[in-house]
Amino acid sequence: MDKVELRFLRITYSHTHAGAYALILSEVEGDRRLPIIIGGVEAQAIAIQVENIKPARPLTHDLFKNMCDTLAINLKEVIINDLVEGIFHAKLVLDQDGKEVEIDARSSDAIALALRFDCPIFTYEFILSAAGLKVEEGEESEEQAEENKGKGKGEKKSTSSMTMDELRTKLEEALDNEDYEKASKIRDEIKKREGTN
């Protein structure tokens, strides 16, 4: 079967599943998107890596990477290899001393690990044909604008009135409490202000 390479595009709130998120993967050579519904914990594990937030202690995916690095195991690629009753299945393709091993994984865990190992993400054409969405020209910017419009309204109001010192203190508190979602929002506000100075 021919593999199709994907790249991580973004995570957004799911409009169809309350309390869930949509992990959006994009075809590298094409204009289709593959949305995968994931939970809040899984979304946070991916967001921490994407946002380059360093937790005080290693989280599960970081622990897995540290262990693989120590044991000289390399994650070569991640393949989203099946779609059963609306649930995506994935496998990790690992290499240790030239020996290739495949391990079954949840798609959200596989993507979180792919981002940490900086390895390629693939799927098969039959999955992309069944679950992929084609983005028409101009639709991407509208989609992005709509997403940005609804993003973190409550958080922005509270952070926008804080001083830089208060924001830095809140950022440290959020990191200490391992509230990485809040930390990333505060960090974004700090970056935004530093960019305008």
83 in the same domain as 13: yes
41 in the same domain as 100: yes
Q: Say which residue, 35 or 16, is predicted with more confidence.
A: 35
121 in the same domain as 183: no
168 in the same domain as 127: no
Res 178: pLDDT: 65
Domain end, chosen from 111, 136, 161, is at 136
Q: Residue 68: pLDDT above 80?
A: yes
- Report the range of poorest mean pLDDT among 10-19, 25-34, 101-110, 130-139: 130-139
Res 153: pLDDT: 38
Domain end, chosen from 88, 104, 136, is at 136
User: What's the total number of domains in the chain?
Assistant: 2
Whether residue 42 lies inside any domain: the answer is yes
Query: Which residues form the domain of 170?
Result: 152-196
Residue whose token pair is 């594990």: 45
pLDDT band at 121 (very low <50, low <70, confident <90, very high): very high
HSE at residue 4, side-chain half, CA atoms within 13 A, is 21
Tell me how far apart the alpha carbons of residues 105 and 179 are, in angstroms, rounded to a whole number.
Answer: 25
Res 181: pLDDT: 67
121 in the same domain as 31: yes
Domain end, chosen from 136, 168, 186, is at 136
67 in the same domain as 93: yes
The predicted-structure confidence for 139-149, as pLDDT tens digits, reads as follows: 454 444 444 44
116 in the same domain as 52: yes
The predicted-structure confidence for 154-170, as pLDDT tens digits, reads as follows: 344 467 777 888 888 88
48 in the same domain as 95: yes
Looking at residue 94, which CATH number applies to its domain? 3.10.690.10
pTM, rounded to two decimals:
0.70
Q: Give the mean pLDDT of 62-69.
A: 95
Most confident of 11-25, 138-152, 178-192: 11-25
pLDDT band at 55 (very low <50, low <70, confident <90, very high): confident
Backbone angles phi, psi at 74, to 5 degrees: -115, 135
